[in-house]
Amino acid sequence: MPGLAERVNSLKASSTVAFAARAKELARQGVDVISMTAGEPDFLPPEHVLEAAREALRLGLTKYTATEGTAELREAVAAKFKRENGLTYAPDQVLVSNGGKQTLYNAFMSVIEPGDEVVMVAPYWVSYPAQVQLAGGVPVVVTARAEDGFVPDLADVRAAITPRTKVLLINSPSNPTGAVFPPELVRGFAELAEEHDLWLFSDDLYEHLVYDGKFTTAAAYVPHRTLVVHGASKGYALTGWRIGFGAGPKPLIAAMNRLQGQSTSGANSLAQHATVAALNEVEKTAAFQAMTRAAYRERRDVLVTGLNRLGLSTPLPAGAFYVMTDTTAIDPDEERAAIKLLDEARVAVVPGTDFLAPGKVRMSYATSLEQVREALQRIEALLG
């Protein structure tokens, strides 16, 4: 067999995807496993969104859409940014993609030259450094500390900037830590981007999952150099429908659109139609988000209290649906700790290794309160 390209030979598989798949496979085999792996809401999408998907079928919306997404969806996205964030985008400043993951990938591919640096905060989502490297760039990491609730120090961000820096990446609420950055820190990132003439990529996927404090998008400060990365997966419980969207300066969106037109073309036509309902039927969606937020908050409180009581130190995150837990009491090595949790407690988690969070694992509480309680009991039994 002929060889493979170096870019994939050196590419690690996504551990969030891999551990979630492993937990699903065990469940399929009948193993009683509690999956706290993937960041995937356990709620069904709201009924008005499901109904819009049925309507899309009835209307026969089965053809390709424009690469950039349907006009209706791009208008709905622009209206969402206006309504919720006070941001003004023309529809041609919006690109719909196959999940926020593709939005981000398009963006890195559109701005990075070989050797360009992207400053990101660790613990980070596993796909950030991988995507930067695929684009020929170099991830430069700023570490946020557990004792600071995983909120980074702006001085560390400043110190990481070099003449090769091209992009600052900000993700608040954060996957995998759940940290929500205060507005003055977000503004600090924006000021650094302005001062050093950098792109600012603001991954806002978890906007609607904030329990304490307030969501702030970096685009509020420097929209002319910010790409907002967003999508339907988290706040609207539409993970499998694969709808992401980006909004930002026209030349960047146009470049991302050219790239997408030569790779995947437009996103799924039925899912785009359903996402219009998720965005435009404002009151119904807000009620759904309030309901899910209250449920996540309760689970978070139970989980964080329970883990700390068991001696597994876990900061209380203000957002998203993840906690970063210190598992050195189970095993100093986080991969071995994750294996013990799976094999002996039947609780599936993602080891911190690929998030650059040594000694820790990520646990998702996008699972029922009952499962969260059961997981805590199993961990307690494991710890003896």
The candidate with the shortest Cα–Cα distance to 260, out of 97, 113, 100, is 97
Write down the H helix ranges in 176-281: 183-195, 250-261, 269-280
Structure tokens at 175: 């996957």
- Contact segment (CB under 6 A) with ligand GLU among 12-20, 186-194, 217-225, 329-337 equals 12-20
**Which residue in 33, 34, 36, 38 binds ligand GLU (CB under 6 A)?**
38
Taking the complex as a whole, the smallest distance from the CB of residue 54 to ligand GLU amounts, in Å, to 26
By 3-state DSSP, what share of the chain in percent is helix, strand and coil, each rounded to 5? 50, 15, 40
Length of the chain: 384
C-beta closer to ligand GLU: residue 203 or 281: 203
- Contact segment (CB under 6 A) with ligand GLU among 13-21, 47-55, 211-219, 263-271 equals 13-21
**Which residue in 23, 35, 39, 279 binds ligand GLU (CB under 6 A)?**
39
The candidate with the shortest Cα–Cα distance to 267, out of 135, 103, 56, is 103
Which positions from 166 through 185 interact with ligand GLU, judged by CB under 6 A?
175
Total residues binding ligand GLU (CB under 6 A): 9
Taking the complex as a whole, the smallest distance from the CB of residue 211 to ligand GLU amounts, in Å, to 18
Q: In which element (H, E) is residue 34 found?
A: strand 34-35
The candidate with the shortest Cα–Cα distance to 60, out of 239, 273, 238, is 273
As to burial, measured by CB atoms within 10 angstroms (0-12 exposed, 13-18 middle, 19+ buried), residue 156 is middle
C-beta closer to ligand GLU: residue 215 or 321: 321
Query: What are the C-alpha distances in Å from 221 to residues 95, 125, 186, 218?
Result: 21, 24, 9, 6
Taking the complex as a whole, the smallest distance from the CB of residue 14 to ligand GLU amounts, in Å, to 5
How far, in Å, CA of 242 to CA of 376, rounded? Answer: 32
Residue 299 binding ligand GLU, by CB under 6 A: no
**Which residue in 16, 97, 216, 217 binds ligand GLU (CB under 6 A)?**
16
Structure tokens at 130: 């991988």
What x-and-dash track marks residues 117-156 binding ligand GLU by CB under 6 A? --------x-x-----------------------------
Dump strand ranges (E) for 180-338.
199-203, 226-231, 244-247, 322-326
As to burial, measured by CB atoms within 10 angstroms (0-12 exposed, 13-18 middle, 19+ buried), residue 205 is buried
Taking the complex as a whole, the smallest distance from the CB of residue 344 to ligand GLU amounts, in Å, to 23
C-beta closer to ligand GLU: residue 127 or 314: 127
C-beta closer to ligand GLU: residue 125 or 365: 125
- Contact segment (CB under 6 A) with ligand GLU among 9-17, 41-49, 269-277, 287-295 equals 9-17
Q: In which element (H, E) is residue 336 found?
A: helix 334-345
C-beta closer to ligand GLU: residue 89 or 124: 124
Taking the complex as a whole, the smallest distance from the CB of residue 380 to ligand GLU amounts, in Å, to 25
**Which residue in 14, 143, 263, 368 binds ligand GLU (CB under 6 A)?**
14
Which positions from 86 through 115 interact with ligand GLU, judged by CB under 6 A?
101
Residue 328 binding ligand GLU, by CB under 6 A: no
Bridging pattern class, strands 117-122 and 165-171: parallel
Taking the complex as a whole, the smallest distance from the CB of residue 313 to ligand GLU amounts, in Å, to 22
Terminal-residue alpha carbon distance, the chain: 51
Whether the upstream peptide bond of residue 173 has omega within 30° of 0, thus cis, is yes
Number of H helices, E strands in the chain: 13, 12
Taking the complex as a whole, the smallest distance from the CB of residue 102 to ligand GLU amounts, in Å, to 11
Q: How many CB atoms lie within 10 A of CB 310?
A: 17
C-beta closer to ligand GLU: residue 161 or 356: 356
Q: Is the dihedral of CA 334, 178, 26, 241 positive or negative?
A: negative
C-beta closer to ligand GLU: residue 127 or 275: 127
Taking the complex as a whole, the smallest distance from the CB of residue 342 to ligand GLU amounts, in Å, to 16
Q: Which residues contribute to the site for ligand GLU (CB under 6 A)?
A: 14, 16-17, 38-39, 101, 125, 127, 175
